[in-house]
Amino acid sequence: MKYFVVFLCALFISTVSASPLKPDGDKAQRQTTAALPIPLQYFGLHIHRADAGTAWPNVPFGSWRLWDAYVGWAQLEPKQGAWDFARLDRYVAIAKLTKVDILLPLAMTPNWASARPDEPSPYKPGNAAEPLRLDDWTNYVATVGLRYKGKITHFEVWNEPSDKSHYSGSIEALVRMACEAKRVLKGIDPSIQIVSPASAGGGKHIEYLDRFLAAGGKDCVDVVAHHFYVFKTSPETLVPLIRQVREVMKKNGVADKPLWNTETGWWIANGDGTPDHPMVAKGGWKKLALEKESGDYLERAFVLARAEGVERFYWYAWDNRYGLGMIEPTSGAPKPMVESWRKLVETLRGATQLQCFNKDRNWRCTFVRSDGTPDLLDWVAN
């Protein structure tokens, strides 16, 4: 992707031969967000092992989602009443020092509390099931909320519930958990924000969000989240997915709530000889070349999502070992896309008036930098 500095805003807008993206969904909300200054919190990361071997990222970012970071309910309370907060305490201390906002998913029922303790899951048996007793969930939420009052203000209820391997319970049970989390956490600190369960994949993930909101979930969340994975295609296919989610939000009366993309990534080639995870290849993920393609995809994804009014975008993941990481699994050396991240944040942080246009495969996004200089990005989609 090339960066162009343009000195007259009217000039570069008038010379764009492409047509603006047709504004579907809630146009006003999308355009309002895209016009506002882009905060550092928009640029989010997943970091799996920040206290166990992964050096803190030397790039600017403002948000950190603690999924696959070994601080789910099953890790925090492996036995009833026996809590282990050592790792999460370290994460919270790191976040305070670096001024990074934590998003903590509330998920992964421990075996002892699970409605189906012997049921397989990608983690340990029983982790994908809802708790057998809502009181155990309430105690978990209250214990975490009280311990980190004033330190964690964003909590996400569950992870990818549209995927049976991550959540095997009913939507009704999920709504009860979300509403109970809201009641408990708002009672501890009214400023806490409840983020909806983020669906992903499987072909019916947007339908799942619709059902969750319609079943009462819309009344118990402050932020609507989704996982906008388009791992077999290019970033431009994010646009129709985001608009479909906005239509569902509008249908359920929550078009005015913030929309977050709490997980997205692509298969990025490892350069140090570490084998990629066989499931990534088997699943048909598009493998990005290290040198240029990975950086291009990152830039295009962040710009297009913001133009569609997405308020946070969490990249998965900084230190993933199986082909999705931004650093080399063995050495920890940064892959070339890390420099693309740095340049992107430097360019877009504080930028306003972001708009994107396209004509067939030709794309252009215009914006005004934080210093008032008009600028644009353009590319040909692949």
pLDDT tens by residue, 290-336? 788 999 999 999 999 999 999 999 999 999 988 889 999 999 999 99
Q: Is the pLDDT of residue 17 over 70?
A: no
Per the CB < 8 A criterion, the answer to whether 205 and 226 are in contact is yes
Which of these ranges, 204-218, 318-332, 355-369, has the smallest mean pLDDT?
A: 318-332
Res. 151 pLDDT band, cuts 50 70 90:
very high
Of 101, 160, 95, whose CA–CA distance to 128 is shortest?
A: 160
Asked whether residue 368 is domain-assigned, the answer is: no
Q: What does the block give as tokens for 252?
A: 């359920």
CA 242 to chain centre: 13
Q: According to the model, what pLDDT value does residue 333 have?
A: 95
Question: How far is the C-alpha of 323 from the C-alpha of 321, rounded, in Å?
Answer: 6
Residue 330 maps to a domain:
yes
Q: Tell me what pLDDT residue 16 has.
A: 40
**Residue of 2 and 237 predicted with greater confidence:** 237
Question: The tokens of 339 are what?
Answer: 């420099």
Is 373 a member of any domain?
no
pLDDT band at 11 (very low <50, low <70, confident <90, very high): very low
pLDDT at 4 > cutoff 70? no
Q: Does the residue 343 lie in any domain? A: yes
Report the pLDDT averaged over residues 162-191. 97
340 backbone φψ class: left, alpha, beta (φ>0; ψ -120 to 50)? alpha
Question: Is residue 32, in this structure, part of any structural domain at all?
Answer: yes
Distance, in Å, from the CA atom of 214 to the CA atom of 216, rounded to the nearest integer, reads 5
Q: Which domain holds residue 45?
A: 23-351
Percent of the chain scoring above 70 in pLDDT: 92
Determine the pLDDT at residue 18: 43
Q: How confident is the model at residue 34 (pLDDT cuts 50, 70, 90)?
A: confident
Of 176, 169, 242, 232, give the one whose Cα is nearest residue 205: 242
Determine the 3-state secondary structure of 367 from DSSP: strand
292 assigned to some structural domain: yes
362 in any annotated domain:
no
Residues 341, 59 contacting (CB under 8 angstroms): yes
SS3 301: helix
What integer pLDDT is reported at residue 306 of this predicted model? Answer: 97
**Residue range 230-246: mean pLDDT, rounded:** 95
* Residues contacting 327, CB < 8 A, separation 6+: 54, 318, 319, 333, 334, 335, 338
DSSP label at residue 136: H
Residue 94 and residue 50: Cα distance in Å, rounded? Answer: 9
CATH code of residue 38: 3.20.20.80
335 within some domain = yes
Say what the pTM is. Answer: 0.92
pLDDT digits (tens, 9 = 90+) for 98-123: 999 999 999 999 999 999 999 999 99
Handedness of CA 29, 32, 35, 36 (dihedral sign): negative
- Residues 143, 83: Cα–Cα separation, whole Å: 10
Total structural domains within the chain: 1
